[in-house]
Amino acid sequence: MGAQRTEAVDVGSRNKVSRTGRPPSSPRMEQYALPLNTVMVGDCVAELSKLPDASVDLVFADPPYNLQLEGALTRPDQSLVDAVDDDWDKFASFEAYDHFTRAWLLSVRRVMKPNATLWVIGSYHNIFRVGAILQDLGFWILNDVVWRKANPMPNFRGRRFTNAHETMIWASKGPDAKGYTFHYDALKAGNEDLQVRSDWYLPLCTGGERLKDAEGRKLHPTQKPEALLARVLMSSTNPGDVVLDPFFGSGTTGAVARRLGRNFVGVERDRTYADAALARIAAVEPLPPDALQAPPEKRSEPRIPFMSVVEAGLLAPGAVLRDERGRHQAVVRADGTLALGNLIGSIHKIGALAQGLPACNGWTFWHVDGPKGLQPIDALRKTLREGMALA
């Protein structure tokens, strides 16, 4: 990459390159305070060297895909397809691309907090090489997520399947990384109480969301849809977290971060892209805090034994519990166990035995009559937790 002037541009306020993939030979630059909500204009690896160690909560990387296009691509009517043929996507060889990938992955690994995670997106041209290098460097893959495109570009030559998806790798810094952010319960609640799958069906970036230049052409050829970034950020960050995007492009990461109450740090070598991204982000209206705060994860809530529900007087010994359909009944005992005929045990064990199953969540299986009809005993546990929070 050619040398170029480095500068940082705050959200409030082109050059032709040859990709060799050689890691930077210059010594590591002096670090300075984390430049929040800023686009750093310059080479990715050089700019990342200025950021403090262990300073970001999430990395979203959309690196060059090294598409290896051969000649122009035309539609059946002979019109030219606006494909990705920019110099920033061209590398001398696969080896050069691997050197480049290793360099930027090492750079982002250094600035990630111990519990930070990394998302990297790519196509079949590059994602397998990225994934292998990522594992070689010690990252631990948590998921691969397939973005299924609702409106993919057709395969005009008719010699391959239509390429209708891209792949994202989600990874922690290592197999022993603990406490990384994942809003499992919130995602499930927003998905009609079903676990969110690893295939996401979302459209390409089109319409008013697509940035255009003065001639009405796409400003950036690979602009990602905001819905994709929103799902990434809502799943694996919290309001106030710092999101790093080392290939900032048209600024989708920054726009979504601003809307969702997150901070961002962007790195982009092309001044035209950086300026357009800043203008786009400045026009974003942040959502109110009450629309952003994720509910507490169930696994982080204080443990409430069933005996505490009895001791608090929310259920009296001798009360009868039944399942939602009324097929099974059990009696509450004074010691917080249940009796099902001659069988005595916990709410979970008795629930499992009643159904002939190896396991059962007794909090949701057993119900009790209340002012509003039959309700799961989990509602009583919730009442106790709310009282603890007030105290």
Burial track 92-102 (b if 16+ CB lie within 10 A, e otherwise): eeeebbbbbbb
Spatial distance between the Cα atoms of 225 and 30, rounded to a whole number of angstroms: 35
Q: What is the pLDDT of residue 340?
A: 96
pLDDT in tens, 292-323: 876 666 666 678 899 999 999 999 999 999 99
Contact 52, 59 (CB under 8 A): no
* Residue 300, pLDDT score: 61
How far, CA to CA in Å, does 8 sit from each of 257, 267, 332, 344? 18, 9, 66, 68
Q: How far apart are CA 47 and CA 140, in angstroms?
A: 25
List the structure tokens of 248: 């900032």
Q: Does the pLDDT at position 344 exceed 70?
A: yes
Residue 28 CA: distances (Å) to CA of 24, 45, 140, 239, 244: 9, 10, 26, 31, 19
Query: Could you tell me the domains of the chain?
Result: 38-69+81-291 (3.40.50.150), 306-390 (no CATH)
Top-confidence range, 12-21, 22-31, 252-261, 367-376: 252-261
Q: Partners of 321 in the beta sheet?
A: 330
Average pLDDT rounded to a whole number, residues 109-134: 96
On the question of pLDDT at 130 being above 80, the answer is yes
